[in-house]
A and B are shown apart, each in its own frame.
Chain A
Amino acid sequence: MILGSINPAVLLAALMVAATPILLAAIGELVVEKSGVLNLGVEGMMIMGACVGFIVAVNTGSPFIGFVGAALGGMALSLLFALLTQALMTNQVASGLALTLFGLGLTALLGQRYVGITPPRTPKLDLGLLSDIPFLGRALFTHDIVVYLTIALVGAVWWFLKYSRAGMILRAVGENHDAAHALGYHVKRVRVLAIMFGGACAGLGGAYLSLIRVPQWTEGMTVGAGWIALALVVFASWRPWRAMAGAYLFGGVVVLQLNLQAAGVRIPVEYLSMSPYLITILVLVIISSGKGRSLNAPGSLNKPFHASS
C-alpha cells in the first residue's frame, strides 16, 4: 500500500540525483588516495564548494559560473591541505580534520547573508526523444547536465588510472613513494596535483547540493556527505566504477527513505533519516571484514614522504 504509492521511474531518477554529489566527492578523493594521500577534509571542501558555488551563482545569475567557483573554492581549501601535508609534513589525519572544522566555520560566516535565497535554476538537459521513452526516459534522461558529466568523469578517471602514463605514475607514487622518488618522479608534485583535483571534485559535489539538489544554502548543509564519500572510496576498493555503483546504491537508500517519510510510514522521521549513516557503516563492515589486505589499497596511503637523499 505504501510502496505502491512510489513510482519506480521517479525513484530511479531521484536516486541518480541523490547519488551525484557524493559520487563527485568520492571520485576526487579516490584519485587523491591513489596518489597515497588520505584527505579527511572532504566534508570541509564540499561545504566550501556548496557555499562558494551558491554565492557565485546568485551574484552572477549563472549556475555554470557557480560551479566553476565551487571547484575553485574546494581547490583553494585543498591547497591549504597540500601546503600543510606536503610542504610542512604535518599529520594527514589531523590536517584533514582541521580542514573540515575550518571549512564548516568559514562557510557559516561567508554564507550567512545568503540563507533563504533561491539560486538561479540549472536547466535540465533536453534530450528530446530519449526522454520520451517509457519508464527509462523518465528515469534516466530527464536530468541536468551535471549528472551525465559526473558519469563521464568516472569513465575518464577510470581510463586515466588504467591506461595513461600519467595515471600509471600517480599509482606508482601512491604505491611506493620511495621507489618512485628513486626513479626520479616528483612525488610531491604529483600529490599536490591530485589533492587539487580532489578539492575541485569535492567543491563541485557541494555545489550540486546547494544549487540543484536542495537548492538552498544552509549552514552545515552537507550533513556528513563528505564522510560518506570517504567511506565510499573504501567500499569501492579504490575502483572508479565500483565507486559509482556504491554511490547509486547509497542514493537509492536515501531516496527510498525520503519516499517512506513522504508516504507517512509509522516510523518517526528521525529514525528513517539515520538510515543512510547506518547503511554506510554496515557496508564498511562488510567490505573491511574481507580476508587479508584489500590488495588495491595504495601501499603508501597516509604515510609521510620526506626525501632524505
Chain B
Amino acid sequence: MIRLEKRKEPSKLWRIANPFLAVALTMLAGGIMFAMLGKDPFVAIRLIFFDPIFSETFASYSRPQLLIKSAPLILIAVGLAIGFKANVWNIGAEGQYIMGALFGAGVALAFFPAPGWYIFPLMVLAGAFGGFLWAMIPAILKTRFNTNEILVSLLLVYVAERILAAMALGLMRNPDQPGFPGSRDLRRYEAAYNSELIANTGMHWGVVAAIIAVIFAYVMMTRHMLGFHIQLAGQAPRAARFGGVSPARLVIICLGISGALAGLAGMFEVSGPGGQVRIEFASGYGFTAIIVAFLGRLHPIGIVLAGLLLGLTYIGGELSQMMLQLPGAAIQVFQGMLLFFLLALDFQTNYRIRLTQGAHA
C-alpha cells in the first residue's frame, strides 16, 4: 500500500527539480495532444520550444519577440509572487494591466501632439498609478470590510475589460479615423513611443523595468524586514502579529506593489508593442503571469526563467498556428497543463511516498 508521509523539512532538491520535470511532462502530454489533433508531435514541440530561438528562418523575427512577450509576464509575476507569499491572492492582474494601459495612454493622448521629454515618464507614473488604483479596490474592501480579495480582484477584470471597450469606442477613439474602433497609434507619436532601445533585440523600457523589479524584489524578499514580514504573514499569520506585523498594512502593500507592476506592464505594452487602445488589447498576460509566478517558485530569479519559458510558448504558439494550423487554444491548454503538473509534482517536496507492507497497513 502507498502512503504519504510528511517530510520533516521540505526537500530542496524537488523544489528546484519539479519545474523542470513539469515542463518535461507537459511536453510529453502536449505531444500526445498534438498527435490526437493529427499533427506530428515532434514537429510541433520543436516549433514551440526551439524554432523561435534557433531556427534560421524564424529566429530573426521571433528572437526579439521573446523579450517583448516575457517582459510583461515577468513584471506582473514578480508582483503577484510577493502577494502570494503573504497569502494575499491578487488574481485580477489582468484588470490592473488594462487600467495601467488606459492611464498611460490617457496621458499620451491628452498631450498629443505636443513634443516633450517629460511625457513618457509621466505616462510611466500614470500607468503604475492606474494599476495601483485598481488594485486598491480589493485591498481597501479587504481591510475595511473583510471582503475576499480573490473574488473582488477577479470580478474587476470583467469590469476593466468593459471600460477598455468603452474607451476604445468612445473617449479614446482616434478622431482622425472615426470609422474604426481604437485610439491613435502611439508608435507614431514620438514623445509617447516606448521604442526599441537596441535595434532588433526587443529590448524596450518594459524590459528594463522588469529587470529592475526583479532585483528590487530579490533584495526586498531576502534582505529586508518587509520581505521577512511578508513571508511570515503568509506562513503563520498569528506569529506575524506577534512579531508586530499589521495584516492590513501588508494587504495594502502587496496588492499595491502587484497592481502597480501590472499597471506598468500594461502601459509599456500599449505604448510599444501593442501600440494603441483596442478592444482586443488584453491578451491574458495577467492570468498567464499566475502560472509564471508558481512555475518560478514565487522566487524572483525563478520567475525570470519561467517568464522566458512562457513567453516562448506564446511565440511558439503563433509559429505553430502559422505553420501547422494548430489552434491557438492549444497553447492555453499547454500552459494550464504546465501548472497542473507542477502542482501535482510538488507533493514530493513536502511528502515522501512510502510503500508499506500490506500485512500491517
Q: Which of A26-34, A144-152, A168-176, A220-228 contacts B (4 or more CB under 8 A)?
A: A220-228
**Interface SS of B by simple majority:** helix
Residues of chain A from 254 to 271 with CB closer than 8 A to chain B in the complex:
268, 270-271
Q: Mark A283-298, 1 if CB is under 8 A from B, else 0.
A: 0110011000000000
Is the beta-carbon distance between B147 and A288 smaller than 8 angstroms?
Answer: yes
Closest to B345 in A: A88
Given A84-B343, A93-B89, A98-B343, are A288 and B159 neighbors across the interface (CB < 8 Å)? Answer: no
B278 to chain A, nearest CB (A): 14
Interface extent on B, as a size class? 35 or more
Residues of chain B from 115 to 155 with CB closer than 8 A to chain A in the complex:
141, 144-148, 150-152, 154-155
Given A94-B294, A281-B156, are A268 and B170 neighbors across the interface (CB < 8 Å)? Answer: yes
Is the beta-carbon distance between B148 and A274 smaller than 8 angstroms?
Answer: no
Is the beta-carbon distance between B148 and A102 smaller than 8 angstroms?
Answer: no
| Closest 8 pairs between A and B when the two form their complex, measured CB to CB | A105-B332, A102-B336, A108-B329, A270-B166, A289-B145, A105-B333, A88-B347, A109-B329
Residues of chain A from 231 to 287 with CB closer than 8 A to chain B in the complex:
231, 234, 268, 270-271, 273-274, 277-278, 280-281, 284-285
Closest to A107 in B: B329
A267 to chain B, nearest CB (A): 10
- CB of A194 closer than 8 Å to a CB of B: no
Chain A residues packing against B (C-beta within 8 Å): 40, 80, 83-84, 88-91, 93-95, 97-98, 101-106, 108-109, 112, 219, 223-224, 227-228, 230-231, 234, 268, 270-271, 273-274, 277-278, 280-281, 284-285, 288-289, 306, 308
Is the beta-carbon distance between A105 and B151 smaller than 8 angstroms?
Answer: no
- CB of B291 closer than 8 Å to a CB of A: yes
- CB of B205 closer than 8 Å to a CB of A: no
Residues of chain B from 191 to 242 with CB closer than 8 A to chain A in the complex:
none
Given A84-B343, A281-B156, are A98 and B336 neighbors across the interface (CB < 8 Å)? Answer: yes
Q: A93–B340 Cα gap in the complex (Å)?
A: 12
The residues of B that contact A277 with a CB separation of less than 8 Å are: 155-156, 158-159
Q: Return the contact of B162 from the options A103, A271, A308 (Cβ within 8 A).
A: A271
Q: A101–B150 Cα gap in the complex (Å)?
A: 15
Is the beta-carbon distance between A109 and B333 smaller than 8 angstroms?
Answer: yes
Q: A104–B335 Cα gap in the complex (Å)?
A: 11
Q: A285–B330 Cα gap in the complex (Å)?
A: 38
The residues of B that contact A281 with a CB separation of less than 8 Å are: 141, 147, 151-152, 155-156
Is the beta-carbon distance between A104 and B147 smaller than 8 angstroms?
Answer: no
Q: A234–B170 Cα gap in the complex (Å)?
A: 36
Q: A2–B327 Cα gap in the complex (Å)?
A: 45
Is the beta-carbon distance between A268 and B335 smaller than 8 angstroms?
Answer: no
Q: Return the contact of B145 from the options A89, A270, A285, A308 (Cβ within 8 A).
A: A285
B327 to chain A, nearest CB (A): 5
Q: A278–B6 Cα gap in the complex (Å)?
A: 43
Q: A219–B328 Cα gap in the complex (Å)?
A: 12
Given A106-B336, A109-B330, A270-B165, are A91 and B147 neighbors across the interface (CB < 8 Å)? Answer: no
Given A108-B329, A270-B165, are A284 and B336 neighbors across the interface (CB < 8 Å)? Answer: no
Is the beta-carbon distance between A284 and B147 smaller than 8 angstroms?
Answer: yes
Is the beta-carbon distance between B336 and A285 smaller than 8 angstroms?
Answer: no
The residues of A that contact B154 with a CB separation of less than 8 Å are: 224, 227
Is the beta-carbon distance between B148 and A273 smaller than 8 angstroms?
Answer: no
- CB of B185 closer than 8 Å to a CB of A: no
Q: Return the contact of B329 from the options A112, A288, A306, A308 (Cβ within 8 A).
A: A112
Q: A285–B138 Cα gap in the complex (Å)?
A: 10
Q: A179–B145 Cα gap in the complex (Å)?
A: 31
- CB of B189 closer than 8 Å to a CB of A: no
Closest to A268 in B: B166
The residues of B that contact A89 with a CB separation of less than 8 Å are: 4, 347, 350-351
Is the beta-carbon distance between A90 and B162 smaller than 8 angstroms?
Answer: no
The residues of B that contact A90 with a CB separation of less than 8 Å are: 343-344, 346-347
B22 to chain A, nearest CB (A): 12
Q: A89–B151 Cα gap in the complex (Å)?
A: 23
The residues of A that contact B350 with a CB separation of less than 8 Å are: 89
Is the beta-carbon distance between B155 and A108 smaller than 8 angstroms?
Answer: no
The residues of A that contact B82 with a CB separation of less than 8 Å are: none
Q: A224–B158 Cα gap in the complex (Å)?
A: 7
Is the beta-carbon distance between B145 and A288 smaller than 8 angstroms?
Answer: yes
- CB of B21 closer than 8 Å to a CB of A: no
Is the beta-carbon distance between A105 and B329 smaller than 8 angstroms?
Answer: yes
Q: A109–B331 Cα gap in the complex (Å)?
A: 9
Is the beta-carbon distance between A284 and B151 smaller than 8 angstroms?
Answer: yes
- CB of B337 closer than 8 Å to a CB of A: yes
The residues of B that contact A234 with a CB separation of less than 8 Å are: 148, 151
